[in-house]
Amino acid sequence: MEPVVPPEITAELTQILSNLVLGDNEIRSNAEKAVNERLAHAPDLYLLALAQFSIAADTEVMRSFSLVLLRRLLFRPVPTPTTLSSTDSASSSTPQPVPSFHSLSAPRLSLFDHLTTSALTNLERLLLHSLSHEPAASVRRKTVDTISDVANQGMLRGRPWHALQAQVFSMTQATSATNGVAGEGLRESAYRVFAGCPNLVMDLQTDAVLGVLGKGLRDEQSIDVRYAALLASVAYLSHADSHQLAQSLSLMYPILDTLPPLAHSINQPSGSATLTSTEDKTPTAHLQSFLVALTPLCSAHPNLFHPHLSALLTFLPPLLLANTDPGPTPTVRAPYPTGLGGDGQSGSFATPTGSPSRELPVTETEDEEEGQSLRLSALEFMLSLCEARPSMFKKNSSPTSPTGVNVGQGWIAVMVRACLEGMAELDEESPYGTPGGLSRWLAEDPTTSSAAENDSPPALYEQSLDRLACAMGGKVILPPSFQYIPSMMANYDWRSRHAGLMAIAAIAEGTGKVMANELGRVVELVVPMFKDSHPRVRYAACQCVGQLCTDIEDIIEQYHEQLFAVLIPALEDPEPRVHSHAAAALINFCEGVERNTLLPYLDPIVQRLLKLLNPEADPTQVQRHVQEQVITTLAMVADASEATFAKYYPSIMPLLINVLRNASGAEYRKLRLKAMECAGLIAIAVGREIFRPDSNTLVELLIRIQKSPLDPQDTQLSHYLMGTWAKICQAMGPEFEPYLPAVMPDLLTTASMKADVSVYDEDEEKVEERDGWETVNMDGQTFGIRTAAIEEKCQAFETMVIFASTLNARYAPYLAQSLEITLPALRFYFHDGVREACALLLPMLLHCGQQSGTLTDQMIAATLQQLISVISDEQDSTFLASLYKALDDCVKLLGGPSVLNADYVNAIVQATKRQLHTLAQKRRSRAARPSSFLDDDREDLALLEEMEDFALEEMAKVLGMLNPNHELLVAISSVKELGTNQYQTELEEDG
């Protein structure tokens, strides 16, 4: 192809790119600056040079690199010579600050927007040449990614790429090598372009599109072409409108027909496959890739799979379930027995006909991890359908298989069994794929070892069971679960007993309403496990009971004798990890138990906890994570037992003060934080008189910690400090006033923090790896929001609520500053908790001003104006009730409706009319939705409608205060009647 840029530019760019891939930071940094300088002064020339280099470079590495760089540079903001490049992975994680929230919605012009028409035409021509002439499949996929971005962004800007459309359709027909590229390679790239840019085909005749996609799905030569066609088909169906979907139902047959041949090939001897692939992947890995590619369609359009559930239920179980027998015996005639029927043909979604209770045999050459990944991918496929459309698998609406079995019941039964089997596949010698076995597990700090545990296959199966229970409810999940769980609990293998206990804990949340009726049987199963010979089973028993106490509140009151009888002795378990977890489970008891129920058990609980915290034997043998857990549990016990805890105060508070005074090393960071929290809760529990002698000492220690040099690793210190100050204020009451000057400056600073928003040039996936940040995509750009700072801001306002409500008039010195920060924060849209706390705080601040005589007319006017203004603009109906309640409370504090002049009254009425109109429209729109949508969203709809009703009730209170016979009260009743309470009723019936 003829060059489009002068040779000297090509030579210069070649040198720059060569420097960019070097490992020397200084050379690479200089190359980045050079790129920015060239792009700032001549973007057309150097972007075209980069595109040309992607064709002319001698090595695959440099062609790939140039395509990746081109794709990234095209759609980033126009650089200046001082702008940092995002090509350096070491520097790309540093966010560039955004001046304000409003700038996020402003148009952001990229280099692509500054290219001339001529440059764009040449760029497109170069990319099309790369697509049809690039010999290396891996490089060609980079070309596809770049082309897809250019096509998508061009269409967004009203620039269709007709040449691309024509060339790609032509490539789908390629049967022989062209320009040095094999026909199957051209076909694969074409379908990948359709997958990356589905808008290329969305406006074409549906039959023509289906014909092209179907041909790729049935490709007779290449697995890669079939896979690319599957990606394209999923993208097409995901973007299709309802009319196109109705016309495209037939596409599901060739889509699903891609799976059985891959399953069949798993059992064939190496080299016997009829389909080829350029990738070095086993048939197991290919099948997993196909299932992963198909899974997003389950969430986007689950109804497409409804006619195929029976066939899928025949095909999927062998992929999903663990072996129950060794499979067929090899013979001379059949040295590689498949164990599965089916002809492997792709004409009619043929499925293996072997026993659905047997997993596909894995040949010796296949990696066990691939088999596990395939099982998990098949499970995720089935689970995604359940979560997206639970009603499809309910008994009344699920189809019946040819054998007369209800498909929905069979589908759920297979998934439950697969999860239970997977949960029992713990490796006794190597629990999470790391050497050390049981002894390593016992020695681990559970607070730092959870990552490996949560990523292990048994944990993934457990998470899947939890999701399935939440999606389907107790009536559907409990019968198949308890078909297996009792026998698992009686199994000789500890892993099976462990899995049974963890399964009960996993399904408790989703099945709680129905399980509550069978609690007696559940308790009978769990209680004996506390005496199991294996420590991991005893640990699981603690986990199970703790989770049940969280998800089924009645369990404590009904069965506290049986459960306390085993849980309290577990605090003396010989294994630290087990007795630490028993202490953790006790927290869940304390959070839900009635005080009178807890009191008889208080002595044995506290005695054992103190023994763990301050052992009489060798203190050096105590593990720090055990002490941290014990302190946390003591805090919860104190909170639940209230004043009765006073008799233990002399034994515990000196220990906590000693920790705060002496545990200053980095290794004691968490212990120190837990001691703060515990001291505050105990202070509240025992009351002012008992706490008073130690209050000054504790406050001085907290001030010293607050003023100590900031440790960047101690990210939780501010959170725990604020929480402890709030608790001490509650405990001391008015006596806390002298300490306000030491506390309030930092508190007000935290409350006034603006949202920390940053813009990234890197991929979103990399951004998400940063702890304490969340990302959003807007206008093709990735923005990060530091959620840790926002959470602190929310806590600061919540602490101000406690200070103002506890101190009343004594809070007056900080009234003006607090109002100045609180009023604008009603519009802090980044965090609902901040806004809720501000709405709660405003009446308290006005009351403080009244009591102290410092409330001014300007303060009153600012408060009322801001409240009414926010009510008028508010779009979140869940927050609307809080705003109306705050307005109602403020007006009543100020003396009633007489304090409101005509302008205020009129503004309130107009704001309310606007909100009533919006709520009425929302409810009519929901009522007009198809019943299938209402069935699957009923839990969310029930909650939403309940919150709207709260808002309507608060509106009525405000209007009734203004005028008991206000005309809008009738309108409120009318809007209420537009709601349907069927959502909540159906939800309760489902359980």
Q: Is the pLDDT of residue 770 over 90?
A: no
Tokens encoding 176: 């022989």
SS (H, E, C) 864-916: HHHHHHHHHHCCCHHHHHHHHHHHHHHHHHHCCHHHCCHHHHHHHHHHHHHHH
Which residue is it, tokens 């559940």? 522
Cα→Cα distances 575→112, 261, 489, 621, 626, Å:
63, 51, 21, 12, 11
Q: How many CB atoms lie within 10 A of CB 623?
A: 14
Distance of CA 799 to the CA centre of its chain: 28
What is the predicted pLDDT for the residue at 781? Answer: 58
What is the predicted pLDDT for the residue at 354? Answer: 34
Pure H helices in 733-814:
740-751, 764-767, 787-807
Identify the helix (H) or strand (E) that includes residue 776. strand 773-778
Burial of 142 (0-12, 13-18, 19+ CB in 10 A): buried
Tokens encoding 527: 């209680």
Which residue is it, tokens 């309507």? 952
Tokens encoding 85: 């490049």
Can you tell me the distance from the alpha carbon of 76 to that of 648, in angstroms, rounded to the nearest whole number?
63
Is 932 within 8 Å of 925 (Cβ atoms)? no
Share of the chain above pLDDT 90, in %: 50
Can you tell me the distance from the alpha carbon of 877 to that of 875, in angstroms, rounded to the nearest whole number?
6
Q: Report phi then psi at 663, rounded to 5.
A: -85, 80
Nearest to 377 by CA among 469, 265, 285: 285
Can you tell me the distance from the alpha carbon of 580 to that of 629, in angstroms, rounded to the nearest whole number?
6
Nearest to 603 by CA among 562, 533, 651, 559: 651
Can you tell me the distance from the alpha carbon of 175 to that of 183, in angstroms, rounded to the nearest whole number?
5
Q: Is the pLDDT of residue 586 over 70?
A: yes
Distance of CA 215 to the CA centre of its chain: 37
**Which of 411-425, 622-636, 795-809 comes out lowest in average pLDDT?**
622-636
Q: Is the pLDDT of residue 100 over 60?
A: no
**Which of 194-208, 413-427, 548-562 comes out lowest in average pLDDT?**
548-562
Can you tell me the distance from the alpha carbon of 193 to that of 206, in angstroms, rounded to the nearest whole number?
18
| DSSP line for 509-561 | HHHHHHHGGGHHHHHHHHGGGGG-SSHHHHHHHHHHHHHHHHH-THHHHHHHH
* Residues written for the chain: 991
Give the residue extent of every domain in the chain: 594-714, 859-986
Which pLDDT band, with edges at 50, 70 and 90, does 771 fall under?
A: low
Can you tell me the distance from the alpha carbon of 836 to that of 490, in angstroms, rounded to the nearest whole number?
50
Q: Is the pLDDT of residue 482 over 90?
A: yes
- Collapsing DSSP states into helix, strand and coil, what is residue 774? strand
Q: Mean pLDDT throughout 570-590?
A: 91
What is the predicted pLDDT for the residue at 987? Answer: 44
Q: Is the pLDDT of residue 782 over 90?
A: no
Q: Mean pLDDT throughout 874-892?
A: 91
Is 756 within 8 Å of 786 (Cβ atoms)? yes
Q: Report phi then psi at 759, rounded to 5.
A: -110, 140
**Which of 457-471, 575-589, 654-668, 831-845 comes out lowest in average pLDDT?**
654-668
| DSSP line for 810-868 | GGGGGHHHHHHHHHHHTT-TT-HHHHHHHHHHHHHHHHHHHHHT---HHHHHHHHHHHH
Q: Report phi then psi at 62, rounded to 5.
A: -75, -35
Residue 367 DSSP label = -
Tokens encoding 692: 């008073």
Q: Mean pLDDT throughout 823-843?
A: 92
Can you tell me the distance from the alpha carbon of 364 to that of 352, in angstroms, rounded to the nearest whole number?
21
Is 353 within 8 Å of 311 (Cβ atoms)? no
Identify the helix (H) or strand (E) that includes residue 775. strand 773-778
Pure H helices in 340-455:
368-388, 407-423, 437-443, 450-455
Can you tell me the distance from the alpha carbon of 573 to that of 571, in angstroms, rounded to the nearest whole number?
6
Share of the chain above pLDDT 70, in %: 83
Distance of CA 874 to the CA centre of its chain: 26
Residue 758: beta bridge partners? 97, 784
What is the predicted pLDDT for the residue at 255? Answer: 95
- Collapsing DSSP states into helix, strand and coil, what is residue 784? strand
pLDDT per residue as tens digits for the range 288-333: 999 999 999 999 999 999 999 999 999 999 998 865 444 444 444 4
Half-sphere exposure of 954 (CA within 13 A, CB side): 22
Cα→Cα distances 223→142, 169, 259, 278, Å:
19, 19, 11, 9
Can you tell me the distance from the alpha carbon of 520 to that of 672, in angstroms, rounded to the nearest whole number?
41
Can you tell me the distance from the alpha carbon of 619 to that of 608, in angstroms, rounded to the nearest whole number?
15
Residue 110: beta bridge partners? 77
pLDDT per residue as tens digits for the range 741-753: 999 999 999 999 8
- Collapsing DSSP states into helix, strand and coil, what is residue 96? strand
What is the predicted pLDDT for the residue at 346? Answer: 33
Q: How many CB atoms lie within 10 A of CB 545?
A: 32
Q: Which amino acid is at 977?
A: E
Distance of CA 380 to the CA centre of its chain: 16
Can you tell me the distance from the alpha carbon of 833 to that of 799, in angstroms, rounded to the nearest whole number?
12
Which residue is it, tokens 């080829």? 276
What is the predicted pLDDT for the residue at 130? Answer: 92
Nearest to 423 by CA among 475, 392, 474, 468: 468
Tokens encoding 904: 């205020």
Residue 400: beta bridge partners? 406
Can you tell me the distance from the alpha carbon of 278 to that of 785, in angstroms, rounded to the nearest whole number?
41
Can you tell me the distance from the alpha carbon of 726 to that of 680, in angstroms, rounded to the nearest whole number?
8
Find the helix packing angle between 688-707 and 717-732, rounded to 10°. 150
Cα→Cα distances 139→121, 136, 613, 942, Å:
22, 5, 61, 51
Q: Which amino acid is at 689?
A: E
pLDDT per residue as tens digits for the range 928-958: 776 655 555 667 777 888 888 898 999 999 9
Burial of 875 (0-12, 13-18, 19+ CB in 10 A): exposed
Give the helix, strand, coil percentages of the chain, each rounded to 5. 70, 5, 25
Q: Mean pLDDT throughout 26-50?
A: 79
Which pLDDT band, with edges at 50, 70 and 90, does 528 fall under?
A: very high
Distance of CA 469 to the CA centre of its chain: 18
Q: Is the pLDDT of residue 990 over 70?
A: no
Q: Is the pLDDT of residue 649 over 80?
A: yes
Which pLDDT band, with edges at 50, 70 and 90, does 396 fall under?
A: low
pLDDT per residue as tens digits for the range 419-474: 999 999 887 654 444 445 788 888 887 877 655 567 789 999 999 999 999 999 99
Q: Is the dihedral of CA 658, 664, 670, 672 positive or negative?
A: positive
What is the predicted pLDDT for the residue at 305? Answer: 94
**Which of 144-158, 388-402, 808-822, 842-856 comes out lowest in average pLDDT?**
388-402
Core vs surface per residue 792-820: b (16+ CB within 10 A) or e:
bbbbbbbbbbbbbbbbbbbbbebbeebbe
Burial of 403 (0-12, 13-18, 19+ CB in 10 A): exposed
Mean pLDDT of the chain: 83
- Collapsing DSSP states into helix, strand and coil, what is residue 930? coil
pTM attached to this predicted model: 0.82
Which residue is it, tokens 């040099």? 709
630 compared with 768, residue with greater pLDDT:
630
Can you tell me the distance from the alpha carbon of 605 to that of 634, in angstroms, rounded to the nearest whole number?
9
368 compared with 884, residue with greater pLDDT:
884
Residue 486: beta bridge partners? none
Nearest to 65 by CA among 115, 31, 112: 31
Tokens encoding 443: 């020695």
What is the predicted pLDDT for the residue at 435? Answer: 47
Nearest to 187 by CA among 230, 127, 150: 230
